[in-house]
Amino acid sequence: MVTRRLLDFASELVEEILFHVDLHVDLINFACTCKLAASFVIPRHSEYRVLVFGDLRLALWAHLASRPDFTRNLRKISFTPLQERSKCRLPRDFRSSCTSADEDATPEQLTRYARDMQKAFSYMQDLEELLIAAGNGVMIAGVYSPALLGAIVARKPRLRMLAIRHGSSFDKLCESGDIRGDANYLTGLSHLHLSLGQGPKEPIPVGLWAQNARRLVYLSMPSDCFHSPLSIQMPCLQTLRIYRASVQDSSSTFPDFLKQHPTIEDLSWFPTNEVVLRPGTLPRLKVLLGTMSTLRALESSYSQLAEDATTPPEKYRIECLSILHGTIETISSFKCFDWTSLRTFDFHNNLESPESLSLLARMCPQIHTLCFPMSWGNGSWTQQTLLIALSQFAQLVYLPTRAIWSFIDCRQQQEVTDLVVKLGLFCPELKWLPWWNNSYADEDPKDVLIVRKRTNSGINVSYSLEPAEPRHEFDPLHMFFHDSQR
């Protein structure tokens, strides 16, 4: 039997095989084997899998429109205003191009730009992640046509993550007949974020966006979407983010939507008034970000269920809770939660005294991540009282609060060391906390990693500064997908 090497095949077959290799590291390893292998990978795969930029880039889009053999390889595009140009990822030939001329582009150039963009997107049938935000030139110029928007999202069965942050574009997209009748429109979508800025004149027709997206597990959109009935079923939906709270929350169809989607485990919702939920709503809820009104809405659902039950109904087993207002004392009064299941607590209101923190420790003994601000007005907080209060959290692993650094001068190495040693001794399970120092505000974020070594004389506590690990795979509010090695 004759064994043939990959590079013995015709170049068209080799290219097609490499096109289906997703992992960036595998492509680079293959390119390093010999010059011939490198010629297949560089630059068409090494530089044309991920694009991240925030400018018009007229020349780049003209290039993409003219080179379908390169453009077809793109898997991820982040086309957003960037605060840091160092995070741009562009082909080598376009990394040093000046953008001042692009900012002064004529209407004719912008028309050609939109045409190049439409043509380039039509080649990206294997695109998997796409982020587009207002603030870049093409949005300001208003050149988004239904045809362009249709080309951006249509005929892309592998598109999994889509985030668009611009209001006026939605009306044009909804006018596009091309995507209404396209059976492949968003069929593989798992993450969808729609942001409207100041909001359109009419609510978003969510049905158009979600009619084929039955695989959605993440949905983020404004509360306006629920002011008219929604018949869309998303059987896989796990994460729901609702922003821009409306005074019409109580009369919206949102309670019905929540009742129809019992698969939701992660909810962000900020009602501005009291909302009564249906009995038995959100039985799988594990992560909650909201206000006291959100907690009262869940309490109403539990209370109605308890009235009709012969035995006490199962309580909400929240594992991660982030609350914007209220007090620990008020939160502890809710009967619908099993607080022993809480692992992460993020409190955005000032803690008045160490007693509030002690109450939280007794109520939620399994907390391993704790974040909170403190009120300094009454003088009850000192470094010692804070350490004593924290020591009551026996399972505390991560402490992402700046308040801990307020007691020392972070420019003094000895003070930093003394504080970290005390934390390591008072909180025996604490492993890391964010490093906070105004002198390093422009640097990449770092974590303080606490290291303990047992010696004959006791436990020796030391620490090191390590690059902070990303903790959010999908952060559309900041227009960022987790930057993998793809």
Note whether residue 441 is domain-resident.
no
pLDDT of residue 194: 76
Note whether residue 423 is domain-resident.
no
Q: Are residues 88 and 194 in the same domain?
A: yes
Task: List the structure tokens of 398.
Answer: 């991560």
Q: Are residues 196 and 142 in the same domain?
A: yes
Q: Which residue, 216, 243, 261, sits at the end of a domain?
A: 216
pLDDT of residue 485: 33
Q: Which residue, 15, 30, 46, sits at the end of a domain?
A: 46
Q: Are residues 76 and 12 in the same domain?
A: no
Q: Which of 33, 65, 31 is nearest to 47 (CA)?
A: 31
pLDDT band at residue 100, thresholds of 50, 70 and 90? very low
Terminal CA-to-CA distance of the chain, rounded, Å?
A: 36
Domain range for 31 is: 1-46
Q: Are residues 122 and 109 in the same domain?
A: yes
Q: Are residues 141 and 154 in the same domain?
A: yes
pLDDT of residue 407: 86
Note whether residue 40 is domain-resident.
yes
Q: How many CB atoms lie within 10 A of CB 387?
A: 18
Task: List the structure tokens of 44.
Answer: 């068409």
Note whether residue 333 is domain-resident.
no
Burial class (CB in 10 A: 0-12, 13-18, 19+), 471: exposed
**Is the Cα torsion angle 150, 152, 156, 159 positive or negative in sign?**
negative
Note whether residue 38 is domain-resident.
yes
Percent of the chain with pLDDT over 90: 28
If you average pLDDT over every residue of the chain, what do you get? Answer: 77
Q: Which residues pair with residue 218 across a beta bridge?
A: 191, 239
Overall size of the chain counted in residues:
486
pTM: 0.79
Burial class (CB in 10 A: 0-12, 13-18, 19+), 347: buried
**Alpha-carbon span 208 to 174, nearest angstrom:** 7
In contact, 82 and 114? CB cutoff 8 Å: no
The residue-averaged pLDDT of 130-159 equals 64
Burial class (CB in 10 A: 0-12, 13-18, 19+), 406: middle
pLDDT of residue 96: 67
Query: In this structure, which amino acid lies at residue 239?
Result: T
Query: In this structure, which amino acid lies at residue 281?
Result: T
Note whether residue 209 is domain-resident.
yes
Give pLDDT tens digits for 44-88. 667 788 888 776 678 888 989 999 988 888 888 887 665 455 567
In contact, 238 and 217? CB cutoff 8 Å: yes
Q: Are residues 10 and 114 in the same domain?
A: no
Place of tokens 């970000």: 289
Q: Are residues 113 and 186 in the same domain?
A: yes
pLDDT of residue 140: 41
C-alpha 66: how far from chain center:
33
Note whether residue 155 is domain-resident.
yes
pLDDT of residue 149: 65
pLDDT of residue 420: 93
Q: Which residues pair with residue 481 across a beta bridge?
A: 474
Q: Which of 357, 370, 375, 374 is nearest to 397 (CA)?
A: 370
Q: Are residues 134 and 5 in the same domain?
A: no
Give pLDDT tens digits for 246-273. 444 544 678 888 998 999 999 999 888 8
List the CATH number of the domain containing 156: 3.80.10
Q: Are residues 149 and 191 in the same domain?
A: yes
In contact, 227 and 242? CB cutoff 8 Å: no
Note whether residue 475 is domain-resident.
no
In contact, 345 and 371? CB cutoff 8 Å: yes
Place of tokens 């190049």: 116
pLDDT of residue 484: 37
Q: Are residues 2 and 15 in the same domain?
A: yes
Q: Are residues 112 and 41 in the same domain?
A: no
The residue-averaged pLDDT of 281-297 equals 94
Q: Is the pLDDT of residue 3 over 90?
A: no
Per the structure, the count of domains in the chain is 2
**Alpha-carbon span 348 to 130, nearest angstrom:** 32
Q: Are residues 6 and 86 in the same domain?
A: no
In contact, 144 and 175? CB cutoff 8 Å: no
Task: List the structure tokens of 279.
Answer: 């009995």
Q: Which residue, 156, 189, 216, sits at the end of a domain?
A: 216
